[in-house]
Amino acid sequence: MGASGTTFVLAVLAATVLNSAVLCSGGSTSSFVRKDEKSGDMPLDSDVFNVPPGHNAPQQVHITQGDHIGKAVIVSWVTVEEPGSNTVLYWAENSGHKHKAKGKVTKYKFYNYTSGYIHHCTIRNLEYDTKYYYEVGIGHTTRTFWFTTPPEVGPDVPYTFGLIGDLGQTYDSNSTLTHYEQNPTKGQTVLFVGDLSYADNYPNHDNVRWDTWARFVERSVAYQPWIWTAGNHELDYAPEIGETKPFKPFTHRYHVPFKSSNSTSPLWYSIKRASAYVIVLSSYSAYGKYTPQYKWLEQELPKVNRSETPWLIVLLHSPWYNSNHYHYMEGESMRVMFEPWFVKYKVDVVFAGHVHAYERSHRVSNIAYNVVNGICTPVNDLSAPVYITIGDGGNIEGLANNMTVPQPEYSAFREASFGHATFDIKNRTHAYYGWHRNQDGYAVQADTMWFSNRYWNPIDDSTSAQS
């Protein structure tokens, strides 16, 4: 063996020692072997994009929470041939009495695309914990769907959230949605962490792909609310074709109840649902000191009453703790601005997307640094949230499988696979979290954690993680 050969062997040995050290000291990087190729978008004639039959039939039906406390629902749909009625007919199960709510219709143009007639109607004063049927398309072709309102807000109300991010409309996206639907842990509401349709991947941001995406997910979102967070693919900022109003398609199509949490923008707001207080933030709106989002969050966090809603959940798109080279450090400036508040107010968990892989952190913070003191390493902090990146919905851009090495201490588990998660609140102290990868059977959980509430039971729960 020559000198270079010896050097090579030494290098391999050193790498092996380094690797075992990494495995001992940090979290785990999954060795799961999966197919590497990305799947393309489903073609326009796919059955999941089918237009419902009948004259002016309502399509792209979706619902979200319509107030701050879960007694209202925003029903949205699109008609194509003519505006038609914007009335929603709705009735409680076991009740013959039909109610009417009147909505509004809007439309928009984007370069050479003109949208259909987009209807939004808020149904208010619903009873808690009740199944309702609703009918849209009155006067033309009607379609009927149903949803169940959440239980009354309270500290020990069990409730199950689904987590999906960066979904897109590929074959993998369809697999993710199917796995969420077939998961034996039944999600009651989806917390969606941004990047919906990826229409902007098409020439001139072909907004037809906003329509196809909404038809694709209707099978879930017409029956249970999805809580919307804006991602970078919602920006649709395209000055080269004269489109300079950010978030134009997204804000026309997806209405959220931002005014009921005193927000001045649909891009950041909060809701209470069962025993959870959910705060939605915008990674792509100003968040520096004195900005509207900063001032809103500053006033919002002290309002959270953990005796009423023990579980404080934050949704945002660009993750703060991400050990993947993909989008590395993009969330850093927002972390610098808001992380001290998250620790002060004991946020339980932060869900983000953007990175097309899965990662869960230990409870860590990195708030001691003040530029001159050099204290810039994340430390264990039992008042800090767990950070979960769940941007693995399966969109056309493929997986983010180029992770930083060694795995940082703060990272508990990471894997580049598509999937979704559920956050299953049991009572004020415990919630069971599970991540599902699409290659497994519907019931298989590839990463789990028992969450201990930061206000009621702030023990070190990250040690209970199994992976």
Provide the minimum distance between the beta carbon of 185 and Fe ion in the complex, in angstroms, as a whole number.
26
Binding site for Fe ion (CB under 5 A): 195, 231-232, 354
Which CB sits closer to Fe ion, 335 or 354?
354
Contact by Cβ (8 Å): 79, 137: yes
HSE-up of 414 (CA within 13 Å, CB side)?
32
Amino acid at 114: T
Provide the minimum distance between the beta carbon of 1 and Fe ion in the complex, in angstroms, as a whole number.
48
Which CB sits closer to Fe ion, 180 or 284?
284
Which CB sits closer to Fe ion, 137 or 231?
231
Which CB sits closer to Fe ion, 195 or 424?
195
| Dist. CA 392–CA 265, nearest whole Å | 27
**143: how many CB neighbours lie within 10 A of its CB?**
17
Nearest residue by C-beta to Fe ion? 354
Which CB sits closer to Fe ion, 256 or 400?
400
- Strands 189-192 and 159-164: what pairing? parallel
Provide the minimum distance between the beta carbon of 337 and Fe ion in the complex, in angstroms, as a whole number.
19
Structure tokens at 26: 């940090």
Q: Name the 3-class secondary structure at 133.
A: strand
Provide the minimum distance between the beta carbon of 214 and Fe ion in the complex, in angstroms, as a whole number.
19
How big is the CA angle at 122 (ends 69 and 106), to the nearest 5 degrees? 135
Residue 327 falls in the annotated catalytic set: yes
Catalytic residue among 205, 317, 327, 356: 327
Phi, psi of 315 (to 5 degrees): -115, 135
Which CB sits closer to Fe ion, 356 or 428?
356
| Dist. CA 408–CA 43, nearest whole Å | 40
**56: how many CB neighbours lie within 10 A of its CB?**
18
**16: how many CB neighbours lie within 10 A of its CB?**
10
Burial of 401 (0-12, 13-18, 19+ CB in 10 A): middle
| Dist. CA 2–CA 161, nearest whole Å | 60
Amino acid at 25: S
Provide the minimum distance between the beta carbon of 317 and Fe ion in the complex, in angstroms, as a whole number.
6
How big is the CA angle at 46 (ends 203 and 79), to the nearest 5 degrees? 75
Amino acid at 366: N
Provide the minimum distance between the beta carbon of 318 and Fe ion in the complex, in angstroms, as a whole number.
7
| Dist. CA 187–CA 158, nearest whole Å | 12
Provide the minimum distance between the beta carbon of 260 and Fe ion in the complex, in angstroms, as a whole number.
27
Which CB sits closer to Fe ion, 26 or 231?
231
Q: Name the 3-class secondary structure at 99.
A: strand
| Dist. CA 349–CA 154, nearest whole Å | 19
Report the catalytic residues: 327
